[in-house]
Structure 1
Amino acid sequence: MVQRGYEVANLAAPRVREAMRYLNWKPAKVLELKELYEFLLARATEHGSPSLGFRLACERLASSRVVRPGVVKLVERVAAARAGGRAGDVRAGAASADDTADE
């Protein structure tokens, strides 16, 4: 059963990449994720809701035509930006923003 799911995922991946190229979207790289972190950090003190931070992050990525990283990765970035915003430390989440996205 697991093998079948793996085969389906392998068949879908080239189609997803082709759709990304056709629609002019790009994967989330280090630079895009760093810019997203800075965007979230600037808004961390304005908005108290983590769900709003997540929604703002998704909207920012979509407007930049950047494919959203995995949900868990994005939630971790929102949490790091909120922690950095509360502490007033811009470098609090720099390590989180510098790693590459898995998806």
Structure 2
Amino acid sequence: MSSSQSSPTTGTLSVGPLLQLSQDDDINSTNDEDDDKPMWIEWLDQKLEEGSWVLYIAFGSQAELSAEQLQEVAKGLENSNVNFLWVVKKKSGATASDGLTKRV
């Protein structure tokens, strides 16, 4: 199924390509040492149980946003009051401010 076709059974839009993470990425950190699900998967599962939508944001490898542009996107997301999962390249040096992390 191409990225422009929607799934008839779920009403979702397929996206891709999906790339495997390198083994040294810490994206799989968990809440509990005993729990083998990453925190972001637990959060997505919780939103699914609540029947809540989640906006997925990723600019890909070609986009180069300045720190100011990233801050503007963050402000817009915060002001929108939507659930979101924002993927940012490690190499970009961008991080969520403590204030944004606590408020969202």
TM-score (normalised: structure 1): 0.26
More strand by share: 2
More helix by share: 1
TM-score (normalised: structure 2): 0.26
